[in-house]
Chain A
Amino acid sequence: MTVESTESGSGSCTHKDFIRLFLEAEKDLLRYVMVLIPNVADARDVVQEAAVALWDKIDQYDPNKPFAPWACRFALNEAKMFLRKKARQNRLSDEAVDLLEIERMENADRLDARKDHLRECLRTLPNKNAELVKDYYFNELSVEDLGKRFERSVDAIYKTLQRVRQTLHACIENKIQMEAKL
């Protein structure tokens, strides 16, 4: 990915370029942040903070290199700062977080490949589960609302969501193994 300079000197990135690059990378940044912060609303806040940090440091960015990997380091850093600020006692240990951060970067391609299978696997879900998981993730309904809608307890909804994620994980695993065999 290269950046065309329109405002400042050669090799630098204008604000317009930056916004384009950031928007292109935003989903990936969210995926990185959510390794440490599973709550999507918190993750979005963190990515917003990361955008500010990125723009401050944009001089350090080499426009001849891909933007996302460079930006993801900042996003993960912001995520760690967020966790510290929250100082939740029940958060993951620093040691675990550091290892996960390194391995998330190392496994980027592998996780992208898994993600490519996700759409197909979603289509194999039974209708009821597909509807539930779409309402939760895409329509962003709360677990309480889903409980009312599907006439089930909140705990049962959480259990179903867990089961659906396991099913999708197994489906992806299956597809990866099939590919490897061929």
Chain B
Amino acid sequence: MKEKELRNLIDGHLRENLDLASAKKLSDHLSESADARKLYLEMTDLHASLAVDEALWVKQPEWAEKEETKTITSFRSYIPWALAASVVFLLSLFLFPKPKEDPTFALIKDTYSATWEGGDLTTEQGSRLRDGTLRLSEGLVTLQFDSGAEVTLEAPVSLKLIDSMKCELINGTAVTYVPESALGFRIITPEADIVDYGTRFSVTVFEETGETHTRVMEGKVQVEYTRTGEIVALSAGERHTVKGNGFAIPPAETFRELGTIPDKPLQHGPEWTFFESSKDAFVGRRPNHLFVTDDKEVVDLLKDSYDSDVHNHNSKVLLLVKNAISQGPMNRQAYVSFDLSGIDRTQIEEADFLLHFAPSGWGLASHLPDSTFNVYGLAGEVSDWDEASIRDEFPGTPETVYLGSFVLAKGVQKGRFGVRTEDLTNFLKARTHSQVTFMVMRETKETEDGGLVHGFASRRHPTLPPPTLAIRLKTP
């Protein structure tokens, strides 16, 4: 049988349209010829791999592609290159003047809503960096080291650059990608060195305590304790905490409010009346760990350490909002009520619902794009809910009326946001009950587990304004 005929028969078999005679012909040929069986196995396995291996179709990160094209499977293949490289090197000694040594070893690759403070390095996107310290007070910044390692800094963070294979995280969160070219890339923290073996992981250092949290998303990482020399190996999905100096402050209590939010003047004249929230709370679980997880097993594990008395009632400062990849109590929405009994609702001309966001300290900003938040008004039967007893769900089944949306750009975790729409005004006019309640949810889902939990100030926040409803009434 000619190869072309065999190929057509194999293809007919893959299409499942061989007739009886063709099937017999193919069977006979396969029984007789080892070469035919070889080709058959190759073609069917090619077909099967295309059908079942989703990984073939997923675009690899840039570094992985580079790495792949560099793959050389035989040692012998190095030899001509090695020879050529030696010749070029020897020639360069004689023919070219010695170039000045470049002290830079990294590059600011991307910045999102970045605000820098202090530091001794240039901070423009595209700038080359030498050894020194970067301090980022807001936003996200990705550094590309010449070794190939990529480090994304999540504000507030301070990082000392040492060389293309080393940096020191003084405080804050750094998410690191390490390709094969940068195996052994090291992040030094006050209590431990984190050494990467080709992977993606995040490290957070709490400056006050030196406590270091490591979480591995892919690959392998080694945590080397500075004091004891103890080494802990972590694999994908694992986390590790190094306590600092014995001052073990539970992460749930380390509220990292910088208190530097600029107090922008409200754009409201004297004809506006301001109402502060009379009640506010969030539904969903209070995070027990720095890295909020959506892994059901972990959530179940954490359940035991979850104290219902310190639900969100005791989370005095922030109302937390999250939209995780999976469903469950790790998803949170905030509810805010105002008592408007003092005004004539029919006279409302315009209204503005205002929230002050602040970093929650939970989850990774890198795992979230620009985030859209929706505000809904609760209509129909709204129960007289109790802040302290609210748990995973808001009581009753009130209707929701969409009132408007606002967006926090990637990396932005603080500032004043809200909605000022006609829908909001109409909603307020239409509700006759003295109490109005709003629900705030994040429409944007995280792109990967462990994404940022957004938070805005509750009425219990010590310094930031509470959720506020500004109302302008018709002038008499």
Interface residues of A (CB under 8 A from B): 27, 30-31, 34-35, 38-40, 43, 89-93, 95-96, 99-100, 103-104, 107, 111, 114-115, 118-120, 122, 133-134, 137-138, 158, 162, 165-166, 168-169, 172, 179, 182
30 pairs, CB–CB < 8 Å, chain A vs chain B:
A30-B51, A31-B45, A31-B48, A34-B45, A34-B47, A34-B48, A34-B52, A38-B48, A43-B48, A90-B23, A92-B26, A92-B27, A93-B24, A99-B30, A99-B37, A103-B41, A107-B41, A114-B46, A118-B50, A119-B56, A133-B50, A165-B11, A165-B46, A165-B50, A168-B46, A169-B42, A169-B43, A182-B74, A182-B76, A182-B77
| Residue from the list B22, B47, B77 in contact with A165, Cβ < 8 A | B47
Which residues of the other chain, A, contact B77 by a CB distance below 8 angstroms? 182
Given contacts A30-B52, A115-B49, contact A120 B41 (CB under 8 A): no
Given contacts A90-B22, A118-B46, A169-B46, contact A96 B31 (CB under 8 A): yes
Nearest 3 pairs between A and B by C-beta?
A34-B48, A93-B27, A90-B23
Tell me the minimal C-beta distance from B63 to chain A in angstroms: 16
Is A38 in contact with B47, judged by CB distance below 8 angstroms?
Answer: yes
Which residues of the other chain, A, contact B54 by a CB distance below 8 angstroms? 138
A30, B77: Cα distance in complex, Å: 35
A78, B245: Cα distance in complex, Å: 60
Which residues of the other chain, A, contact B40 by a CB distance below 8 angstroms? 100
A179, B75: Cα distance in complex, Å: 11
Given contacts A100-B37, A162-B11, contact A35 B44 (CB under 8 A): yes
Which B residues between 418 and 450 are near A, CB-CB below 8 angstroms? none
Given contacts A96-B30, A100-B40, A166-B7, contact A122 B56 (CB under 8 A): yes
| B53 close to chain A: CB less than 8 A | yes
Interface residues on B, range: 35 or more
Tell me the minimal C-beta distance from B194 to chain A in angstroms: 27
| Residue from the list B14, B23, B53, B76 in contact with A38, Cβ < 8 A | B14
Is B51 in contact with A34, judged by CB distance below 8 angstroms?
Answer: yes
A30, B49: Cα distance in complex, Å: 9
Chain A residue at smallest Cβ distance from B53: A27
A125, B24: Cα distance in complex, Å: 34
Is B50 in contact with A137, judged by CB distance below 8 angstroms?
Answer: yes
Which residues of the other chain, B, contact A120 by a CB distance below 8 angstroms? 68-69
| Residue from the list A91, A99, A169 in contact with B23, Cβ < 8 A | A91
| B16 close to chain A: CB less than 8 A | yes
Tell me the minimal C-beta distance from B413 to chain A in angstroms: 37
Which residues of the other chain, A, contact B475 by a CB distance below 8 angstroms? none
Given contacts A35-B44, A90-B18, A119-B56, contact A137 B51 (CB under 8 A): yes
Tell me the minimal C-beta distance from B52 to chain A in angstroms: 4
Chain B 1-38 near chain A by CB (<8 Å), digits 1 or 0 = 00000010001011110111011101110110010011
Is B28 in contact with A93, judged by CB distance below 8 angstroms?
Answer: yes
Which residues of the other chain, B, contact A100 by a CB distance below 8 angstroms? 30, 37, 40-41
Given A30-B52, A96-B28, A134-B57, output 20 extra A-B contacts at Cβ < 8 Å: A30-B48, A34-B47, A34-B48, A38-B47, A40-B48, A90-B18, A90-B20, A91-B23, A95-B27, A96-B26, A100-B30, A115-B49, A118-B49, A118-B56, A119-B55, A119-B68, A137-B57, A138-B56, A162-B11, A182-B76
A182, B30: Cα distance in complex, Å: 32
Which residues of the other chain, A, contact B55 by a CB distance below 8 angstroms? 119
Chain A residue at smallest Cβ distance from B19: A90
Chain B residue at smallest Cβ distance from A92: B27
A114, B47: Cα distance in complex, Å: 12
Which residues of the other chain, B, contact A40 by a CB distance below 8 angstroms? 48, 51-52
Is A31 in contact with B42, judged by CB distance below 8 angstroms?
Answer: no
Is B56 in contact with A89, judged by CB distance below 8 angstroms?
Answer: no
A158, B14: Cα distance in complex, Å: 10
A40, B44: Cα distance in complex, Å: 11
Which residues of the other chain, B, contact A92 by a CB distance below 8 angstroms? 13, 23, 26-27, 30
Tell me the minimal C-beta distance from B467 to chain A in angstroms: 45
Which residues of the other chain, A, contact B44 by a CB distance below 8 angstroms? 34-35, 38
